[in-house]
Structure 1
Amino acid sequence: MAYILLIIGFVLLMKGADYFVEGASEIARILRIPPILIGLTIVAFGTSSPEAAVSIGAAIKGNNGIALGNVVGSNIFNISLIVGITALLYPLQVERETVKKEIPFALLSSILLLVLAADMGLQGYQTNTITRADGIVLLAFFSIFIYYLLEVALHSREQSTEEIEKPAGSMTKQILFAGGGLGAIILGGEIVIRNSIKIAQQFGMSETLIGLTIVAVGTSLPELITSVVAALKKQSEIAVGNIVGSNIFNILFILGISSIITSIPVEQKIFFDLNLMIGYTVLLLIFSRTHHKITKAEGLILLLSYILYTVYIIARK
């Protein structure tokens, strides 16, 4: 039964992503908003819903160590595997503003998380903890990011003189398409995660290994499916914006809320993964600066590096 439900979950993910990308890109056209902004906001926040559900739910239950591992693992997965696969399918065009502002902001968010987590190294404390005060700092940076996006959206609409020619449907219809697609993505992701864990347990995988692989990967399935569909539809701005926006949302909003609910203990071994997340963000910035495009060769490098990372964490655990 678990295998049948797994297939159903993947079908919901794929069809949901199809409707979601179509609706979101049409909303951008009707509102005269650049697709990259839709990717950074509606698509990014929507596809990060599973991470939010898992991390915030874990914090409420007092298992908030899962929250940090889930976010860091998902962000590594987003840049390495998702960008890698989508670039292999279709070279990803990266907007100039994304290279100059959004990706550097994602890098700043990653470095901020490392600084807030490194209490022993930087402040000489006995333990590393992301405290409630740290959570407020993360949410403050998230507010700055939202303010920036609103400013860009308003400026884009003021500058736009393009006439909208025969929209494919009304705004209400496109919102229903995008909303219905997002609902299918979230439901499909939940079904896939639950049944993947059941199957993994049948094969004797430990809970730690399941958390590092299936949970982190499973909660990133909406980003994967959405970015792949966007790339196939040649909506590369949505594909890139989805990843960059999701990573910022995961760090600043999800960990911000989770740590305010209850402080998050930070294990020493996760600092390797935190530094790797920063390294991947730097690599994404470097790749994006070369002709404002992520090529198939660069996508292959990212994909192969994730395979090596997966082998490493399996061996480490």
Structure 2
Amino acid sequence: MSIADWPFWAVIGLFILATCVIGVAGVRMTRLADRLADVTGLGEAIFGAVFLGITTSLSGSITSIVSAYQGYPELAVSNSIGGIAAQTAFLALADITYRNINLEHAAASVENLMQGGLLMLMLALPLTAMSIPSLTVWQIHPLSLLLVVVYIFGLRQVSQARAAPLWQPKHTAETRVDVPESDAQAITGAAVVTLWLRFILLMLIVGAAGYTVAETGMSISDRSGLSQTVVGALFTAVATSLPELVTALAAVRQRALTLAVGNIIGGNSFDVLFLAFADVSYRGGSIYHAISDRQLFVIAIAQVMTAVLVLGLLRREKRGIANIGFESFLVLVIYLVAVAVLFMAP
């Protein structure tokens, strides 16, 4: 029995259940990620951006791929970029929960700044693809391949900057430096393998929940009368972004501040790759030319929010409006305005 034959209330119930599974698994992954960051020696920023960022983005990736393959390009793109906007807003919520000082001040690192620059560059590429004539090779736009190349190149640059930084943020009394736990080096062999296996298991659970969110999200879009943009940018994007919210809040609570920021910004960079994956799975040609101005609006909003966040990481304001930085305040305002615009748009 397919989901299309289910009662509407059952579809909504399954959507909520899958969302809860994503949230619970996200909490557990955060604890394992903080431990693995110390054990592997990669550090919170790199591990958060690459391993944790990719893992918590897995559900969203599957949602975009499945939606594009089944002929919902607007839902696929809105889910991808809407997730970036939602996750950036989640970082502002994490800032609110960290009462000591502005989160972007305490978690300053060259890796997170470079991740922010990489994200803005990657968001510019889909806008470029949409503004030029449709060109495909095997129904795939060349800029989708370029997205993957830019992402890999960017991660390499971030890794090299961590290994041999030519400048560092000024340390203050409130700066939280990523220092491995004292017993990290004592964990070897079978214990490390066990940590990785638990991490991979949670990753698979999140992926399965993401597939469920995609299926139920498409059904909700068809039955509710809501546009693919609204369902993708708000409902499936927020649902599949719950791991980022949960992990950011959990990391802040554990004082793993660099991990919290790195997970959001690094995960956002990986989320842009959803467009490349969706373009491959979409069989109607270039996915960049199968979407509307509303997706263009969502991409522009995500880029604006990222730029504000990077400015905050550079400025490192200690306290601002409501005891958070100006960047967190502006990010929340921009996101809420964007949500209102999407709901009011015809």
TM range (shorter): 0.7 to 0.9
Residues 271 and 293 (structure 1), Cα distance of their counterparts in 2 relative to 1, 3 Å cut: farther
Task: Choose from 65, 78, 81 the match for 2:87.
Answer: 78
Aligned to 2:183: 165
Partner of 2:96 in structure 1?
88
Answer yes or no: is the 8 Å Cα contact 2:217–2:231 preserved in 1: no
- Give the CA deviation at 1:39: 0.7
Q: Does 1:248 align with 2:265?
A: no
Structure 2 residue 282 is matched with structure 1 residue 258: no
Between the aligned partners of 1:306 and 1:218, the Cα distance in structure 2 is: 16
Aligned residue number for residue 6 of structure 2? none
Counterpart residue number, 2:236? 215
Any stretches of 5+ residues in structure 1 without a counterpart?
A: 120-124
The yes-or-no answer on 1:270 pairing with 2:295 is yes
Q: In structure 2, the residue corresponding to 1:234 is in which secondary structure?
A: coil
Once residues 82 and 183 of structure 2 are traced to their aligned partners in structure 1, the CA distance between those partners, rounded to angstroms, is 42
Unpaired runs of 5+ residues, structure 2, are 1-9, 166-177
- Pairing of 1:287-298 with structure 2 (within 5 A): 287-291=312-316, 296-298=324-326
1-structure distance, mates of 2:119, 2:225 = 37
Partner of 2:93, secondary structure, is: helix
Scaled by the length of structure 2, the TM-score of the pair is 0.75
**Residue 106 (structure 1) aligned to one of 100, 108, 119:** 119
* CA deviation vs aligned residue, 1:19-52 (integer Å, no higher than 9, x gap): 2111111111112221011111001111111221
Distance 2:336 2:179 in 1: 46
- Cα deviation for residue 292 of structure 1 reads 7.1
Q: State the Cα RMSD in Å.
A: 3.4
Q: Counterpart in 1 of 2:53?
A: 44
Pick aligned residue for 1:309 from 319, 335, 338: 338
Structure 1 residues 165 and 172: CA distance shift in structure 2, 3 A? same
Separation of aligned partners in 2, 1:103 and 1:207: 28
Return the offset for 1:154.
Answer: 6.0
TM-score scaled by length of structure 1? 0.81
Q: Is this contact kept in 2: 1:17–1:182, CA < 8 A?
A: no
2:81–2:233 contact (8 Å) kept in structure 1? no
Shift of the 22–118 alpha-carbon distance from structure 1 to 2, 3 Å rule, reads same
> Are the counterparts in 2 of residues 133 and 260 from structure 1 also a CA contact under 8 Å?
no
Question: What CA deviation, in whole Å up to 9, does each residue of 1:154-193 have, x standing for no partner?
Answer: 669xxx9979526578212221332233344444555566
- C-alpha distance in structure 2 between counterparts of 1:314 and 1:128, whole Å: 32
Answer with 194-203 or 288-297: which moved more: 194-203
Give the AA of the match of 2:274.
I
Q: CA deviation at 1:4?
A: 6.0
Q: Report Cα offsets for 1:173-228 as digits up to 9, x if no partner.
A: 22133223334444455556666777788876455532332122222222222222
Q: Distance in 1 between matches of 2:295 and 2:226?
A: 20
Does residue 305 of structure 2 align to residue 280 of structure 1? yes
Structure 1 position 176 matched with structure 2 position 197: yes
